[in-house]
Structure 1
Amino acid sequence: MRGTHAATTAIIGTVLTGLLLTGCTAFGGDDSVPKPTRQAAEDATAQTPQPDSTLDTVGSKQAVPAGTVVAETDAVSKSGDTRVHVRVVANEHGTFEAHLSGYRTTEPQPMTVEFRRTAEFGDWWDSGAVAATTWEPNTDAPDTVSLSDAGAYPDWLHDVVLVPAPLQDGDSDTRPWVGSVLAVGALSWKIPNPFPDLTVTVGKDRPGAYGYVFDKAGKRLDDTGTPSTYQVAHGDDQTTVAKRFGITVPELRWLNPTMKVRDDGWIYEDTVLNLDPATR
């Protein structure tokens, strides 16, 4: 009997150990899924956000026929001494490319062209800039710059800028303006809205969408009002956040073309999402 009792005790101990290791309890509970909170997880803050592999928000459908000019502007310095003409054209891959022409400057120096969400004279480096391309003094600007990183609907990029770049052997004290926006051109896009009837409503918070909702004035909303932004909470995932506001994941991604999502679908905590189509 002692042998039988010992064997039984060993089996029970093994089962309980297995339950504890899998996050379950012997009383029917399951603690394997962390409860979302508004406190940052240590492992989340230690990771660098990476673009999700499904960043294309509206699929691969061609927005406009290849060869269509969808935006055109001149990026010009305040003095008018530095400028470049920019024409954005649809290509055969479902994305767009910028054609540069007429570049001139009275002060040859390394120069970078960038496409930004917003820009003003004197702004400094922008880590969110797209299609940054640099050329050396006394050379022509490149004829073409790819905007493929901006996706099939790059009209969230509202400005194109020229930024003096560092010299190859380092910056000089005589060029303190390096990295500061020298010329700006506003882009007026002619790309059809893929979601012309998009309506965003305020839904109650729920597991996977516990964040805070704000209107244009920055007032926090509960169940009523017109939402403008959403502050992501720990454990929020893109599918549930979209459902909370009565929209689809492609619509949420279109509203937020730079949104970063983990492989498990979680959005990085404290990300501020746009919910207003007019301010995309």
Structure 2
Amino acid sequence: MNRTVASGATALVVAVALSGCSLLGGSDGALPAPSVPPTASRTPAPTATETEDPDAAHIEASATPRAPTPVATEAAVPDPVLTPIPAGTVLTEGDVVSPKGSIHFHYRVVADGDDTFTAQYTGVTSSLPVPIGVGFFERERQVGDGLTYPGVGDAVLGGPTPAPVSEDVPLDGSGVDPSGLVTLVVSSAADAGQTDLPIEIAGGKVLAVAAVRWSVPQRQTNVHPVDGGARSNAAGPVTATTASGAPRSYTVARDDLIGDVAARFGISVKALVWLNADVQVFGDDQYLYEGTTLNLDPLAR
């Protein structure tokens, strides 16, 4: 998730929280389950992809998507945080050599200190008659494979480069934990319409690969979701867990309310919105859209 969006979402939540709106009540900052009418008497929740027909009897006029509103008492809840990796920390590095020795370079990834990272490609030389592209991928690739997208932290370097070339590239798209990118791929960046090239260096062909070994420092956060079990207005399934067994993602069920889902996992509404900057609710009770997948892992924001 882009840090700018996440920070904007948190600022929005805090500002709304201070406006005095109250969803769940309580004087001590806790998030007790709200008192709501029986499920059968409420407006059914539309799915995230459902087209809202203003003439349909089961969709109320007030059910307009909007940003969630935490209760006023959440103003006292600490803001969610994830400690950044110190700037300049080297998270991975290595050398890349193509099978025939036509391409050589060194790579490394360093932390920028603000939940972003930079891929550094140095000493790049190539004797091939085509530009080369480099990028990180979430799964293994093989020399000779064809690519349909250039990867994360991708850069295009010139044609034959007898003098070493260096390039620093933002690792956009990696999230706050880049260790899921397991392969560095070098591919031909030749024009896809160029037909006079040998097939092995045609546009998009993988020329070299390197397995990436990460050393990511442990991050600290004050958001620790724990599944308290399905309940009224928070009855969906946990659809993934982390390596430690903590809930990683949750799929919204019909009639789920954002306050009850947050309470089920022992976190504040503010934290749930921090984890899901684009989440939307509808209706005065703040229903979530059925079928929406919510992230519960701070490292996957």
TM-score bracket, shorter-length normalisation:
0.5 to 0.7
Is residue 188 from structure 1 mapped to residue 231 from structure 2 by the alignment?
A: no
* Cα shift at 1:89: 1.9
Partner of 2:158: 136
Q: Which residue of 108, 112, 125 corresponds with 1:104?
A: 125
State the one-letter code of the partner of 2:106.
H
The 5 Å alignment of 1:217-256 reads 230-231=250-251, 241=261, 243-246=263-266
Q: Which amino acid aligns with 2:118?
A: E
User: Offset of 1:113 from its aligned partner?
Assistant: 1.8
2:234 maps to 1:212: no
1:197 positional shift? 9.5
Query: What letter is aligned with 2:92?
Result: A
Deviations 1:185-210 (A, max 9, x none): 31312322324995643621554x55
Q: Deviations over 1:136-186 (max 9, x none)?
A: 21245443112255455433433332232242x834364475324432331
C-alpha separation in 2, matches of 1:264 and 1:38: 11
RMSD (Å), alpha carbons: 4.9
Q: Where does residue 23 of structure 2 map in the other structure?
A: none
Runs (5+) with no aligned partner, structure 2? 1-41, 53-66, 68-78, 283-287
Paired AA for residue 137 in structure 1: G
* Structure 1 runs not aligned, ≥5 long: 1-32, 44-51, 217-224
Change (3 A) 1:100 1:270: same
Counterpart contact for 1:153–1:191, Cα < 8 Å: no
Q: Which amino acid aligns with 1:72?
A: E
Q: What secondary structure, in the 3-state scheme, does the structure 2 residue paired with 1:155 have?
A: helix
TM-score (norm 1): 0.55
**Secondary structure of the residue that 2:92 maps to in structure 1?**
strand
**1:162: which partner in 2?**
186
Assess if the C-alpha contact under 8 Å between 2:137 and 2:181 holds in 1: yes
1:82-97 alignment to 2 at 5 Å?
A: 82-91=103-112, 95-97=116-118
1:28 paired residue number: none
The 3 A distance-change label for structure 1 pair 63 and 228 is closer
> What is the Cα deviation at residue 263 of structure 1?
5.9
- Distance, in Å, in 2 between the alignment partners of 1:198 and 1:238 is 17
Match of 2:44 among 35, 44, 65: 35
Moved over 6 A (4+): 234-239, 248-254, 265-268, 274-277
- The residue type paired with residue 178 of structure 1 is G
